[in-house]
Amino acid sequence: MRKIKLAVISDIHGNSVALEQVLLDAKKNNVDEYIFPGDLINDLPFGNETLELVKNTSDYLIEGNKEEYIKEYNRAHYFWNNLQFKNIIFMNNELSKENQKLVCSLPITLNLEFEGVSFKIAHGSPESVEEQIHKKDENLIDKYTKTLKEDVLVFGHTHEPVWYKRVNGKLIVNAGCMGVSPYYKSMAEYIILHIKNKEVEVEKRLIPYKTEIVREKIKKCGILDTDRVLMSLTYAALTGNGEIRHKFFVDAKNSMKERNHNLYKSDAEGIYKYFKLYDDDIWINTYNKYKNYFEF
Ligand SMILES: [Mn+2]
């Protein structure tokens, strides 16, 4: 049987600058097939560039929660006034008609087979784009490996560094976060799966790229006129300043608790059900508190 290499590139989040370097690295490594398990676009505003690269590379694409937000915005039956939604609305308006159509028609999961090994590809979990399976979630890992029909489950979404385990006779792989990982500085993470004789080996790859280019593109594209907060938080993550981003969210969450508001609207459906929503004044006040540490 032939040896085959699969690149899995998850959670790009619009970081076309990092994606270019990752694709070059995969090409150098003679990768045969590419799989993109969702969150292709949002939070960085380079969605069209990202989707052009992705479309020209592979047909194995699924949606993440970020694509689901664009879909929901186009269904248009919620209020979209919160500052946190500015980023989604900006991206929706920037997307070409063709890319918007693509984003709104992506499948939720994919079943693939290579050289006799079967794969289930999901964003969050096989049941939901929003569910998170962390490395420590033994019960969830047990549940999904027990019910899995395929040999391998591949997903992302949690933005943890890459991890994988063999449980209940299955291989479960979190492919990490290529575009906005808070665990590295100016580095993009992805994996290459090596398949030979029905065995799968996981290789983590960490690829350097220039965050200064990302910074200049953010300044140029117009997003800062509508959203400085999420851009500052995102840029902090990819430049190794995850600590300040973490402090921001701890503070904002505490402020919400003090007001006795829930971050989720438990009686709502769609985006309001699973989007962590902070009151606008808390969002802005917390940003102002840490402004000196942020890039934008
Ligand atoms: Mn996600």
The pLDDT, as a whole number, for residue 77 is 66
pLDDT (average), residues 250-264: 93
Ligand 1 centroid–CA 240 distance in Å is: 20
* Average pLDDT estimate for 89-116: 97
Looking at residues 31-42, what average pLDDT do you find? 98
Looking at residue 270, what is its pLDDT? 78
Whole-number Å distance, alpha carbon 13 to ligand 1 midpoint, is 9
Binning pLDDT at 50, 70 and 90, where does residue 8 land? very high
Percentage, residues of the chain above pLDDT 70: 99
State the distance from the centre of ligand 1 to the C-alpha of 184, rounded, in angstroms: 18
- State what percent of residues in the chain have pLDDT above 90: 91
Rounded distance from Cα 38 to ligand 1 centre (Å): 7
- pLDDT surpassing 80 at residue 263: yes
Output the pLDDT for position 266: 74
Task: Give CA–CA dist 55/78, Å, rounded.
Answer: 30
| Contacts of residue 291, Cβ cutoff 8 Å, sequence gap at least 6 | none
Average pLDDT over residues 225-240: 96
Q: What is the pTM of this model?
A: 0.96
For 111-159, write each residue's pLDDT tens digit.
999 999 999 999 999 999 999 999 999 999 999 999 999 999 999 999 9
How far away, in angstroms, is 145 Cα from ligand 1 center?
21
Residue 164 has pLDDT above 70, yes or no: yes
Asked whether residue 1 carries a pLDDT value surpassing 80, the answer given is: no
Please give the domain boundaries of the chain with CATH numbers for all domains.
Answer: 4-208 (3.60.21.10), 212-293 (no CATH)
pLDDT of 275 reads 87
What's the pLDDT score for residue 261?
87
- How many angstroms separate the alpha carbon of residue 295 from the centre of ligand 1? 24
Give me the pLDDT at residue 269, please. 76
